[in-house]
Structure 1
Amino acid sequence: MSDEPTTPGPDPAAAPEQPAAPGEPSSAGHPVESAPAREQTGIIDLHDTRAIPSRRPHDAGDDAWFDVFGGEHPIEGAAVPARADSSWGSDRADARAEEAHRSAYAPPAPAPGPDPDVSPATPVVSAQTGAQHPAYAGPVPAAPGSESTSAAAPGGPGGVLLTDAPQPARRRGRGRLAAAVVALCLLSGVVGGIAGQLVESRISLGGSTLPEPGAGATQRPAGSVANIAANALPSVVTIKVDAGSEGSATGSGFVLDNKGHVLTNNHVVEPGVNGDIEVVLSNGDTEKATIVGRDASYDLAVLRINRTDLRPLTLGPSDKVVVGDQVIAVGAPLGLDQTVTTGIVSALNRPVQPGDPGESSYINAIQTDAAINPGNSGGPLLDMTGKVIGVNSAIARVPGTSGSTGGSIGLGFAIPSDQARRTADQLIATGKATHPVIGVSLDRTFSGEGAQVDDKAGSVTAGGPAAKAGVKPGDVIVGFEGKRIRTPDQLIVSIRARAVGDTVTLKVQRDGQELELKMTLEADPAK
């Protein structure tokens, strides 16, 4: 752009002049013709719509759309942005001031002369006269053969003089020395910064020294799921059954003692009674197993392998379990060995009758929402101390689905450890388990609440526990050991959960009356 003065023209960045009303003089004294009508636009808010005017009203008091958002713009004065070609306050004026500043303080070009090392002094403006003088710090040397034309400034020889006398130029050598010093300082700072970063990051040029986890840093605290699982997994086994032409099956189990006994479900090993049973340990070792004893009614079985170096799991007290306790299920669901799932105890004393109708099991089960799937059967259900409180045995499935398509829907069932302990001890000792009975036949067609004793003759076994306690045909048993009985299965699993020789209390209804009877449980003579 040329620096020659030009005729001022419109600037898009500057505020436009406000047009006057038609027929009235403008701020420049020229008449304004009527502007052609333009389409009105509007802005919509929650209350109304106001048209945006196509021109600015001359009357400042007019309630125009713009006034809703801000004050009126002045057309002249200090608040009006200057035009781009004005001498002050514009882009052109700023550019000129910047150019003058750079010219005043830019390094001067060497002056022509015999000495190329001489450079002129930088001019400064005297505060008193406004004239330009060379700046010099120190006394002013006099020219040879002449007297000094100035005196030292107040403050002695070290003061600053503003004088018209010519000054000796500085040597470039000093500038080079100063530049070298500055470069050395910068280099030292960079080297020091890099060295500090290396030390801070603990990075060695000879190899990495990043911190590594110390011994035991990956161990989990006692009582955590990871810690309990790590301690329990070596004691949990996978059981593989080869039933020959009938196929094969997979289940779970866990080590009972240091004599090679493994506890599992009866329905896991039953197909292998006349076949082969293998126990796969946590380290992958496979051992042949034999059946020590099994009991279909309790759905429990004990195997034995030729290993005495295994660590057993501890059976805890299931009668101390309450709803809401956290539990951990371990086993081989769908053949995926060493699987750990977690959940809570969602119910207690749930009557469960899995198995075929001819050989049903009666379980007073612990219900859990820990994921249990086919293959988990026989595996342990652990509490948060790592003790076994149940043996995973059954899962619920949606009505209408088959056993081959069923999976975990958050309703799994485990045999209480108290029952498992009694049965396992009996199977190891004698190869079979005893079942407590009361000596009555129940009416499965009864639709009322409770378990009704059949009213036929012989429904109460002569000389049995119920007969000795005074139970008669047609009685409805509605309570057992203080717990309400609603169905026959609930009564059966409540009895099976007790031990032979226990004394229990029955509550029965007879002819509209409610009676409380005591009896002692006896072993099933048929077993």
Structure 2
Amino acid sequence: MSDEPTTPGPEPTAAPEPAVPHDPGAVSGDEFAPTPAREQTGIIDLHDTQAIPSRRTEPQGDDAWFDVFGGEHPNDGAGVPARADSAWGSDRADALAEQAHRSAYAPPAAADPATGPAAAGAAPASGAGSPADPIAPETSGAAAAGHTAYAGPVPPGPADDPSAGASAAGTLLTAPAPARRRGRGRLGAGIVALCLLSGVIGGVAGQLVDDRVNLGGSTLPQPGPGATQRPAGSVANIAAVALPSVVTIKVDAGSQGSATGSGFVLDTKGHVLTNNHVVEPGVNGDIEVVLSNGDTEKATIVGRDTSYDLAVLKINRTDLKPLTLGASDQVVVGDQVIAVGAPLGLDQTVTTGIVSALNRPVQPGDPGEASYINAIQTDAAINPGNSGGPLLDMTGKVIGVNSAIARVPGTSGSTGGSIGLGFAIPSDQARRTADQLITTGKATHPVIGVQLNRTFSGEGAQVDDKADAVTSGGPAAKAGVKPGDVIVGFEGKRIRTPDQLIVSIRARAVGDTVSLKVQRDGKELELRMTLEADPAK
């Protein structure tokens, strides 16, 4: 079977509604709040506050309530805001009114022993019932009986002066506060101070319990032990385990420039697996392997294979932990995967995605040196530099070697980047090839011994109709394949193109027995054959 490459042919907002003017007097079906003109409650600013009238007047119209409590003119009128020290709204005035109210209910002052009871019953200077003192008849008797008469709060006057308290017993409205009232005041102040102190202590204690006060100087909470641990099977946990085994490969090709790729540790002997196209420029140059901890090691090429796009390097380290190669034949579409590598030279990069397709025939490389990959397709972000890095499953095992990415038709290779279509060499194929490269320095390729017609436009892979198209004594000849036959099936899978047949054969091992379905003269035939190694390799 020919290994010549296949050259792909040409790629067969609504306008806003007008604002409706608001009618201050209207109430719509869903607008139940009163408009400003009918407002019955609200917040009044301090500069709009005035004295409340002594008696309530009937509202005059819809705006009467607002007229009472809000200033209606900036200069004069009933609605002019009152001063802050006016009779209503002043702390000083409130304090005086409260003092007068308390004084009206205060008990009488104790009688002076020097004057005796007679002093308490002395008539006022103006005489009882004198017109000059209209309230004397009501107060003098009560005072003589030892009771305080209530006359209501009055503005402060001489009665507030303790020195004048005994001069006019008949008109006494206030009395000096007893000493016990001052004691009560001090007791109340002490209780308030105790409450404040308790609040402060309680607040500090609560902060200490919440771990929000750090006596060391930091005020931010700190994560506890184990806060950075991740459960087994999570992307973070798998990445933490795999990253030390993933390396960055730097190639110095001298005048031809330099390149960067990825790879991963295969065993404890210092073998590293990567892509052939990563190390090929360094065949006659220098190759370095940069470990996850930053150590740099010189590397030598153990073996490489163009057809499989795989290569094995060797470094002088035996203390590295290898990654485990999984079984790619157990992978199904939709499996979650993790790609690790150095895309664009950014080492230790982790991306995630799923397996988006299987057995995708991919033929990267230049004509004459093309690779044939029966690839695992993934939407995990893969970019130049990811080549040679591992594609991991959710157990941390390698199921593929990242090798190629798709690019938009018509663009050059230098402008390629992740568009959600990346391709990896299946781990089953990578394992066989790596074993062969480590053992012999080269890999064997299974063949069936036919030459394919690249100009055939029908579905399937047609064997050339030349007499020597089927290798004499080869697997195909032994199975009965003839020139001109069209191979339409391989191992029960439909074959549509020559490349699909080639990658399907390359995915198998030398010595495997496979089945072919061929069309000949309008009939379909089932043939079986055993794959053999390519004698040219």
1:201 and 2:174 are equivalent in the alignment: no
1:231 and 2:204 are equivalent in the alignment: no
1:186 and 2:177 are equivalent in the alignment: no
Deviations 1:153-182 (A, max 9, x none): 9xxx9x998699658823364454333333
- Residues 1:389 and 1:206: Cα distance change in structure 2 (over 3 Å): closer
Counterpart Cα distance in 1 of 2:299 and 2:512? 35
Alignment match, 1:393:
403
Alignment match, 1:170:
176
Counterpart Cα distance in 2 of 1:175 and 1:208? 49
Q: What amino acid is aligned across from residue 144 of structure 1 in structure 2?
A: P
1:274 pairs with one of 265, 276, 284: 284
| Paired residues for 1:424-503 under 5 Å | 424-503=434-513
Offset at 1:523?
1.2
Offset at 1:194?
1.7
- Residues 1:217 and 1:360: Cα distance change in structure 2 (over 3 Å): same
Q: Secondary structure at the match of 1:516?
A: strand
1:254 and 2:272 are equivalent in the alignment: no
- Residues 1:195 and 1:306: Cα distance change in structure 2 (over 3 Å): same
Alignment match, 1:414:
424
Which structure's residues are more often strand, by fraction? 1
- Residues 1:476 and 1:235: Cα distance change in structure 2 (over 3 Å): same
Alignment match, 1:135:
105
Alignment match, 2:96:
107
Question: In 2, are the aligned partners of 1:478 and 1:484 still within 8 Å (CA)?
Answer: yes
Counterpart Cα distance in 2 of 1:285 and 1:318? 31
Greater mean deviation of Cα atoms: 242-251 or 168-177: 168-177
Offset at 1:199?
1.4
- Residues 1:371 and 1:84: Cα distance change in structure 2 (over 3 Å): closer
- Residues 1:136 and 1:67: Cα distance change in structure 2 (over 3 Å): closer
Offset at 1:90?
10
| Paired residues for 1:367-382 under 5 Å | 367-382=377-392
Counterpart Cα distance in 1 of 2:224 and 2:478? 69
Question: In 2, are the aligned partners of 1:479 and 1:507 still within 8 Å (CA)?
Answer: yes
Q: Secondary structure at the match of 2:268?
A: coil
Q: Which runs of 5+ in 1 are unaligned?
A: 1-43, 53-64, 110-118, 124-133
- Residues 1:400 and 1:108: Cα distance change in structure 2 (over 3 Å): closer
Q: What amino acid is aligned across from residue 194 of structure 1 in structure 2?
A: V
Q: What amino acid is aligned across from residue 259 of structure 2 in structure 1?
A: A
- Residues 1:68 and 1:512: Cα distance change in structure 2 (over 3 Å): closer
Deviations 1:201-243 (A, max 9, x none): 1226674576422222112222221111111111001111122
Q: Which runs of 5+ in 2 are unaligned?
A: 1-17, 39-56, 72-77, 122-139, 152-168
Alignment match, 1:20:
none
Greater mean deviation of Cα atoms: 468-477 or 394-403: 394-403
TM-score (norm 2): 0.72
Counterpart Cα distance in 2 of 1:396 and 1:375? 14
Question: In 2, are the aligned partners of 1:198 and 1:204 still within 8 Å (CA)?
Answer: no
Alignment match, 2:227:
217
Counterpart Cα distance in 2 of 1:278 and 1:138? 106
Question: In 2, are the aligned partners of 1:140 and 1:167 still within 8 Å (CA)?
Answer: no
Q: Secondary structure at the match of 2:236?
A: helix
Offset at 1:375?
1.1
Question: In 1, are the aligned partners of 2:354 and 2:379 still within 8 Å (CA)?
Answer: yes
Query: What's the C-alpha RMSD, in Å, of the aligned pairs?
Result: 3.9
1:359 pairs with one of 363, 369, 394: 369
| Paired residues for 1:38-187 under 5 Å | 80-81=60-61, 99=87, 106-107=95-96, 134-136=104-106, 144-145=117-118, 169-171=175-177, 173-187=179-193
Q: Secondary structure at the match of 2:344?
A: helix
Question: In 2, are the aligned partners of 1:138 and 1:161 still within 8 Å (CA)?
Answer: no
- Residues 1:99 and 1:418: Cα distance change in structure 2 (over 3 Å): same
Counterpart Cα distance in 2 of 1:378 and 1:82? 85
Offset at 1:469?
1.1
Offset at 1:443?
0.4
Question: In 2, are the aligned partners of 1:82 and 1:89 still within 8 Å (CA)?
Answer: no
Offset at 1:249?
1.3
Offset at 1:99?
4.4
Q: Percent identity?
A: 73
Offset at 1:105?
6.7
Q: Secondary structure at the match of 1:144?
A: helix
Q: Secondary structure at the match of 2:413?
A: coil
Q: Secondary structure at the match of 1:345?
A: strand
Alignment match, 1:515:
525
Counterpart Cα distance in 1 of 2:388 and 2:296? 18
Offset at 1:452?
0.3
Counterpart Cα distance in 2 of 1:216 and 1:89? 63
